[in-house]
């Protein structure tokens, strides 16, 4: 019994017999190749908020998650909501 415990003490929990794999945060798949995307300001009259149209966003739930995740890492951006239905992104920022 002690040998079994000692063996598991040196083994990562994810490799223990009968353990489920560790959950990894859902992060969009990213390709290392760069792509060119059309981004057009739609409405920027309200300070601290901008609505942008992103050409590659419409119809792509993967792009929706990627845009939201990417903008959430930008300093000064407090929230970004993308829509694959409209192709627009609403960005709230400090300003």
Tens-place pLDDT, residues 27-71:
556 555 566 778 889 999 999 999 999 988 999 999 999 999 999
pLDDT score at 38:
85
User: Using an 8 Å Cβ cutoff, are 66 and 84 in contact?
Assistant: no
Q: Answer yes or no: is pLDDT of 10 > 50.
A: no
């Amino acid at each position: 019994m002690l040998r079994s415990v000692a063996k598991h003490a040196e083994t990562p929990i994810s490799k223990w017999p009968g353990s489920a794999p560790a959950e990894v945060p859902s992060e969009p798949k990213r390709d290392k190749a760069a792509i060119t995307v059309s981004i057009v300001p739609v409405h920027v009259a309200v300070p601290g908020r901008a609505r942008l149209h992103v050409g590659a966003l419409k119809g792509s739930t993967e792009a929706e998650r990627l845009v939201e995740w990417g903008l959430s890492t930008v300093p000064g951006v407090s929230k970004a909501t993308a829509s694959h239905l409209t192709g627009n992104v609403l960005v709230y920022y400090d300003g």
